[in-house]
Structure 1
Amino acid sequence: MANLTLHFLLIFLSFHCIFAIITESVTSQTQNATNFIVTSCKTTLYPTICVQSLSTYANTIQLNEQELAHAALTVSLSKAKIASTFISKITRMKGLKPRELQASKDCSFNMNDCVYQLTRSIPELGQSGKLASRRDEFTWHVSNVQTWISAALTDQNTCLDMINNPSMDGKIKDSIRVRVFIASQVTSNALALVYKFAEKHS
């Protein structure tokens, strides 16, 4: 009986040690990925927002520049969609002044284009990663990504310019501005991280 008890105790301790080793390894990998994100985000205009928005992707990113850029683009697209959907709803509000309605429609048009530019940037970035060893094709694809993200940023800034006029209701203006500005911050960060990825492999 004593031998059987000792046998089970040894099995339990073995499993416990294995679990502890696996847990420590996973924790170490996550910490390394987080440190990689923090270091990479220092090259962006909004490093704090960069770290906050990308930390949840640490396990996917690990130490991979392409995965980092991909996650940043995913965040950017998500925020742009939120802003675009909100502004679209504003254009259907009753009681808007003619200038408010026109400004909101113009802003909505730009944010729709912003979403389009970011949407096509994500698979294009994936193509560039596959061609990292083929410089000409890599440069072509990553250049497209940079161009389209820049266009998305221009759309966001144009939208902000359009609503920034005295005729806009203050509450409407502020509610649109905060959503578009958040989108522009993460889009700016995404562009910086794509450039970082491009420099690493060009």
Structure 2
Amino acid sequence: MGSCCSSISMAALLILVHFATLLNSSLAVRELLGVQTNTEFIRTSCGTTTDPGLCMTTFSGYASKIQASPKLLASTALSVTLSTTRSNSTVIVKLSKSQGLKPKEIASIRDCLEELKDSTWVSAALTDEDTCMDSFSGKDINGNLKTTVRRQIVKVAHLTSIALAFVNRYAAHP
């Protein structure tokens, strides 16, 4: 009887291990599908924006947080845009302290910094970025300075536009 019971116990243990393995792999598949679904939500949402590439690059890392929630997507977009605006403002402040800047270049940088302060007011921010770049027109502005500032401003403008699209979409379909 001891050999029979141990054989049954061993068989039961093997069956239990087999079911546990199936359960674990099923959970792994569901988790993988959830990540793919979340990423697909981001991809679909980004596809309707003015800069789908930047959008996907920026927000795909937040897919598990956002899941398929338009509200979380809009909130995350605003948060990321604000954070990017702050860090880009820091870059521009450092540029303003560069040696050898012309008075017009310093004035243009100050204009951009003023406009970036308004970037938290999302709908006004798109106009503000244009105003900032207008101050850099003309031949008397260093090309490298103009390019560096433009790169910072364009990214903020694009993220602002994306955030505004997500907020508007959420407002229309809460």
Larger radius of gyration: 2
Matched, 1:62 2:35: no
Matched, 1:35 2:40: yes
From 94, 103, 125, give the equivalent of 2:99.
94
Aligned to 2:3: none
Aligned to 2:152: 179
Aligned to 2:116: 111
- Which structure 1 residue ranges, 4+ long, deviate > 6 Å from structure 2? none
Matched, 1:14 2:19: yes
- Unaligned runs of at least 5 residues, structure 1: 118-147
Q: Percent same amino acid at aligned positions? A: 33
Report the Cα offset of residue 19 of structure 1.
1.3
Stretch deviating more after TM superposition (81-90 or 70-79): 70-79
Q: Counterparts of 1:6 and 1:180 in 2: how far apart (Å)?
A: 67
Q: Counterparts of 2:172 and 2:141 in 1: how far apart (Å)?
A: 42
Report the Cα offset of residue 174 of structure 1.
0.6
CA RMSD of aligned residues (A): 1.8
Matched, 1:200 2:173: yes
Q: Quick one: which amino acid aligns to residue 123 of structure 2?
A: S
Q: Residue 107 of structure 1 contacts residue 163 of structure 1 at CA under 8 Å; is this kept in 2?
A: no
Q: Quick one: which amino acid aligns to residue 32 of structure 2?
A: T
Equivalent pairs counted in the alignment come to 169
Q: Counterparts of 2:90 and 2:138 in 1: how far apart (Å)?
A: 21
Matched, 1:189 2:131: no
Structure 1 length-normalised TM? 0.76
Give 3-state SS (helix, strand or coil) of 1:94's partner: coil
Distance 1:164 1:82, change over 3 A: farther
Distance 1:6 1:190, change over 3 A: same
Q: Counterparts of 1:27 and 1:52 in 2: how far apart (Å)?
A: 20
Q: Counterparts of 1:163 and 1:3 in 2: how far apart (Å)?
A: 83
Q: Quick one: which amino acid aligns to residue 190 of structure 1?
A: A
Aligned to 1:155: 128
Distance 1:105 1:3, change over 3 A: same
Report the Cα offset of residue 43 of structure 1.
2.2
Stretch deviating more after TM superposition (178-187 or 9-18): 9-18
Q: Quick one: which amino acid aligns to residue 78 of structure 1?
A: S
Aligned to 1:169: 142
